[in-house]
Structure 1
Amino acid sequence: MKMKGQYLERTFIRGLETTATYLPQSQEFILHSPTLTSMKWWPGNLGKTVNHAVVMAQLFIRGKKHGIHPFIVQLRQTENHQPMKGITVGDIGPKFGFNSNDNGFLKLDHVYIPRENMLMKYAKVSPDGTYTKPPTDRLAHGSMMYIRVAFLDATAEALAKACTVAIRYCVVRRQSEMEPGDKEPQILDYQSQQPKLFPQLAMAYALYFMSMRTMKIYDNLLVELANGNYSNLQDMHALICGMKVVSTTTMSKGIEVCRLACGGHGYSHASGLPDLFTMVTHFQTAEGKNTVMLLQTARYLVKCASNAVSGENLSGQVEYLSESPQGKAAVGSYSDLLNLGVLHDAYKHRAQR
């Protein structure tokens, strides 16, 4: 996608090079990595641990491509943990953090698996090679939803840990007597500290409540999918992409604010903050790079806004775009700023604008 001479960042999923070719005569798939760039890279626990993996590959039947589908592939022998025939697998090496997780690489060289190893809840391949399409192509959006929803809770927990360490430190740490002979005050009482830490504490609560709300919406979506209702799938995909970005970016920046608020002690591993930061900051690129995730949400919102301008009545998370434009939220006193209804209207007005 090109705009004003610049290319917008995106992930070229449909260009996946790993292939899965079906053989009707033996009822098997041949999985193959035909190029260096088709090797799998980054999956957690792949480097040294797992014996089986769900591998995404382009499905070919009698020379016709049917798009990306998931396949269960045995990687290592259960008897001696050695790689199976045609499997090249290993660890990608040290990372910025989280090195307890053996992220790995995988190359497949004409690996045969039985037909039953294709996950066929929606798309199906019969023994004779007849292909049955899934009810909707949007089901591809759901493959990474759960882990992204799980990130929301993890980011709230990580930021809460950082706030706990930093605020407790600022209560115990005393520095610089205000008047000669006075007891040194807690550094939390300094006005320069409170604007750093209190917003992070509030955000930790906000992320936690947001994660619970999003998980509830996700659980409802699973019920709808089980009943054959796919109408909210795209809406949920856009919501989770946006929430993943907001939560992981806010969390990562917030932990660094907490670390710096602890002065030199925040640089010490004894504080726990350096390990915490390196453990979770990769959430910003794991399971979807944040820039790409933002673009997916943005494209969806622009499309919905265009439909709303055309007179279409929207539903779900974007229903507000179809409503009449809100006037300025009425704020007549300080107490109005504590009124959730007023705050809700203000945010809705800003989102519509």
Structure 2
Amino acid sequence: MTTKDTISTTAVVGSGYMGGGIAQVLALHGYKVALGDVDGETAERARVRLVEQARDFEGSGLLPEGAAETIEGNLVAAASIEEAVEGADYIAEAVPEQPDLKASILRRVSGAAPCHAIIGTNTSAIPIGELASSVTGPERFLGVHWMNPAPFIPGVELIPGEETDPRVLERAEQLIQSLGKTPARVADTPGFVANRLQFALYKEAVQIVDDGVATPEQIDAVVANTFGFRLALFGPFAIGDMAGLDVYESAYHTLEKAYGERFAVPEALAATVREGNIGLKSGHGFLHVAPEHKAALLSHRDNAYARLAQLRTELGQAPGL
């Protein structure tokens, strides 16, 4: 397909909580954004809400000085979905997570958009290949999964479908980077990476409640103040390598005895330990840290944890929790 060298004009279809946040980020970084929704009145109400919200964010120091003015200058409400996308170089579809609804909207979007326009769906779990069948020109289509709240969470998953043009993936990645976000390319499987992990944790948390081990409040306290605290700064493989994969393997054996096959030692972990690669202690685990970086990494970890603890103390307890 033919793609433009630069993206300047964008559209966001679906101006609710997620779509609105995406629109704010695009507008703040200098992109013209047309909001499309069920009708022009709904889009205009969203535009007003997003500008007012940006003023509140700016007043609270969450957005830089002048952010609201920039967002207001780059954000317009379109009379229809078709009008919103007709001149766009990039389109973010962010309607509710209902396959039939997304398919219907994507048919309208791809039918009205310029042939060069890149179309990104903000789906949390629906396979891109499933949605691509509703898109005219599926080579320009991919998943662009933002996290909630979009203005403040740095990570964005990029999910190409089987027909996605590699140049489209590259251009989408460049766009996300230009917004100050951190893109991660992942494969097209249900739930992708973030929600597959998140929902696995949630299921086990509910099981712990059902087993009578702890209450929801107690579980939240444990997670937020132990391994969840670490996850704010490092991913699971970095944490595992720093802890020691031999320790992990031993813990899995104990858990499997108590809870069965679902806690069996993952074969990839067992193989890594058999090879003597137990993490930072040996210099290599699932990740590789050069020996000359070990001391600096541990120092950075300790400093980061201490700073995060200080920030949490400054912020205080979340209201109502």
| TM superposition score category, shorter chain reference | under 0.3
Bigger CA radius of gyration? 1
TM-score normalised by the chain length of structure 1? 0.26
Structure with greater proportional strand content? 1
Tell which has more relative contact order, 1 or 2 (C-alpha 8 A, sep 6+).
1
TM-score normalised by the chain length of structure 2? 0.28
